Structure 1
Amino acid sequence: MPRPRTILVTGAASGIGAACCRALAGPGTAILVHTRKNAAGAEAVAEAVRAAGGLAEVMLGDIADPALPAALVARAQARFGGLDVVVANAGFADRTPVAALTEAGFAQSMDTVLWAFLRLAQAAMPVLARGEATRLVAISSFVAHVFRTDATIFPATAAAKAGVEALVRALAVEAAASGTTVNAVAPGFTQKDATGHSAMTPAQWDAVRARIPLGRLGTPADVAQAVAYLASPGAGYVTGQVLHVNGGLI
């Protein structure tokens, strides 16, 4: 019996990561659902994967821990027999202005976003090289591209995500011989799950919507559909790209 198409999604207990798990789930798939500490949320996502006909397991840990990326890859191999798709989604956003950034604060963004992606890629690429229609998809962000006086700036996050996109392009070249594709998805303003948009006031969110040509915030499902395409066997001739899912935001 062939092993399932095995997928690792980091930061998958809610939001975009959870939506990616739901979009990728189905018969013949197995998903390792990672979260830092939201075990209940991750278990709910795993149950949704199983309800869709797939296999699922949950693993907790801080993605900034240098040992965790390799441990995630090892767990996927041990539990499901291999690894075919990695979706690197775990991270956080930091609005701290440059003048107020501390070395520790900047390092936290680098560790959680950029270094974690590098470590995950280094651990996963040799395993992906042995898989079928293998894919590495990183979740970037519009904050690495949009710098305006009427927009919130995320200096540390922008630097980390821009670094991720540069690594995506480098990895795409290095992995080409094995057939593994490496891409990124850059979401625009994306609403959270049922928790709403408490990071800004209603008036601020109205101003954001006015800047988006499609007139609405994105949803985790919008982003997940783009990830699902890039992770699919049909996306085998797309690599080294950053796909913007932002409603036309510039």
Structure 2
Amino acid sequence: MSERPRIILVTGSASGIGAAICRRLAAPGTAFMVHARKNAEGAAAVADELRALGAVAQTHLCDLREAGAAAGLVERTVETFGGLDVLVSNAGSANKKPLLEVPEDDLSAATDTILTAFFQLARAAAPHLKQGRDPRVVAVSSFVAHIFRKDVTLFPVTAAAKAGLEALARAFAIELAPFGVTSNVVVPGYTEKDPGAHSAFTPEGWRRVAEQVPLGRIAKPRDIANAVAFFADPASDFVTGQTLHVNGGLHI
């Protein structure tokens, strides 16, 4: 009897990096829960793409900052497909307001969206991952949690939340290891946005940040997706608690 296809949940997957991760992991029969906060059209389009690649896909809209939303997303995935094998925590936000000016509510919003949501997702997913096929947790962080220089735009509250996310991912690696579940982190550098998507930089700003990258360009979403695919692959079963930077040499 052949093994059943894997079941994958990717948060924030209606566009950008999250959508690229879904496309990269898609294989005939693989089941996806495509998540978005409110972009129903984008989520539906990604689900259609996955179906065209032979995968099975459903969508779920929820704001992960709301009480019970993260656990509800996991349960919807399990109820729909019968289990969960791969959790990719990708949903996030970006805030570059200086610490001395940023409203306190912005810090709460960043930690709720990035840190607390990952904590709740992974805890809700753990019982199902323990029973999963080649079970994986992959957290998508950001270079802003690692680079603090005068010549680099800072995202202080985002950095704080992402740093916490990375710490949680390492802790989950230890706690879940006895069950064969790995937990790793991918840290994107500057990454292209989808056309029309909100951006922290102007076109000229993007040109300037590309000049900071030794490999001479900013990342494409598929560059990040390739790294996530490595951690999600069954062949990476002896890699856990690790952090992989994908930034063209920006952070060495």
Same fold (TM over 0.5): yes
Question: AA paired with 2:15?
Answer: S
After superposition, the C-alpha distances for 1:167-223 in whole angstroms (9 at most, x for unaligned) are 011110000000000001000000112237853233322221111011001011110
The total of aligned residue pairs comes to: 250
Q: Residue 27 of structure 1 corresponds to which residue in structure 2? A: 28
Q: Residue 148 of structure 2 corresponds to which residue in structure 1? A: 147
Q: Residue 221 of structure 1 corresponds to which residue in structure 2? A: 222
> Compared with structure 1, are the counterparts of its residues 22 and 161 closer, same or farther at alpha carbon in structure 2 (3 Å cutoff)?
same
Q: Residue 211 of structure 1 corresponds to which residue in structure 2? A: 212
SS in 2 for 1:58: strand
Separation in 2, partners of 1:45, 1:205? 26
SS in 1 for 2:100: helix
CA RMSD of aligned residues (A): 1.3
Q: State whether residues 193 and 199 of structure 2, in contact with CA within 8 Å, keep that contact through their aligned partners in structure 1.
A: no
How far is the alpha carbon of 1:7 from its aligned partner?
Answer: 0.2
Counterparts of 1:21-170 in structure 2 under 5 Å? 21-170=22-171
Question: AA paired with 2:22?
Answer: C
> Compared with structure 1, are the counterparts of its residues 198 and 107 closer, same or farther at alpha carbon in structure 2 (3 Å cutoff)?
closer
- 64-73 vs 53-62, which deviates more? 64-73
Separation in 1, partners of 2:26, 2:161? 29
Q: State whether residues 191 and 197 of structure 1, in contact with CA within 8 Å, keep that contact through their aligned partners in structure 2.
A: no
- 64-73 vs 133-142, which deviates more? 64-73
Separation in 2, partners of 1:198, 1:31? 27
Question: AA paired with 2:209?
Answer: V
Q: State whether residues 181 and 238 of structure 1, in contact with CA within 8 Å, keep that contact through their aligned partners in structure 2.
A: yes
Q: State whether residues 66 and 119 of structure 1, in contact with CA within 8 Å, keep that contact through their aligned partners in structure 2.
A: no
Q: Residue 203 of structure 2 corresponds to which residue in structure 1? A: 202
After superposition, the C-alpha distances for 1:127-149 in whole angstroms (9 at most, x for unaligned) are 10011110000100000001110
- 106-115 vs 64-73, which deviates more? 64-73
Unaligned stretches of 5+ residues in structure 1: none
Separation in 1, partners of 2:145, 2:162? 6
After superposition, the C-alpha distances for 1:6-28 in whole angstroms (9 at most, x for unaligned) are 00010000000000110111113
Counterparts of 1:182-197 in structure 2 under 5 Å? 182-195=183-196
Question: AA paired with 2:58?
Answer: E
SS in 1 for 2:83: coil
Question: AA paired with 1:144?
Answer: A
Identity %: 56
Question: AA paired with 1:122?
Answer: R
Question: AA paired with 1:217?
Answer: I
After superposition, the C-alpha distances for 1:96-125 in whole angstroms (9 at most, x for unaligned) are 100012221110101011000100011011
Q: TM-score, normalised by structure 1?
A: 0.97
Q: State whether residues 37 and 61 of structure 1, in contact with CA within 8 Å, keep that contact through their aligned partners in structure 2.
A: yes
Q: TM-score, normalised by structure 2?
A: 0.96
Q: Residue 7 of structure 2 corresponds to which residue in structure 1? A: 6
